[in-house]
Amino acid sequence: MRAFREAVEAGDLEAVEALLAEDVVFTSPVVFKPYPGKAITAAILRAVTRVFEDFRYERELGGGDGRDHALVFRARVGERELSGCDFIHLDEDGLIDELTVMVRPLSGAQALAEAMGARFDEILQEAEARSAPAS
């Protein structure tokens, strides 16, 4: 998905969030349960941009119907190099309704889990603030 890739590469997190469906489901490479909803997904993606260093997409793959995409990436978390893939599914409106991330090797996934775990309270607070109704 070119729009998502370009927004991530540009660091335009507002554009990334605009591509997410309200009912998007994010599946983490290091946590068993998926995270449903735009607010938590956007908060997680914002935190990941602070954790990943030297992030770059290397390849983009597409499915036959145009609704399934895979973006292969490389990054570093501290001293750990990792490679991974963002699996993206689009809904009928062209918005991302599923985002699954996988990473390897195990040492890279462990470094990612540790770095994200250290930020998870602030991720939850941001998600709650973004999903709270405006008064």
pLDDT tens digits, 13-36: 999 999 999 999 999 999 889 999
Domains and CATH numbers, the chain: 2-128 (3.10.450.50)
Contact between 102 and 85 (Cβ < 8 Å): yes
Q: Band of the pLDDT at 134, cuts 50, 70, 90?
A: low
Torsion of CA 54, 60, 63, 65, to 10 degrees: 110
Contact between 57 and 129 (Cβ < 8 Å): no
| Residue 60 reports pLDDT greater than 70 | yes
Candidates 52, 117, 130, 115; CA nearest to 86 is: 52
| Cα-to-chain-centroid distance, residue 91 | 17
Instruction: Give tens-digit pLDDT for 71-94.
Output: 999 999 999 999 999 999 999 999
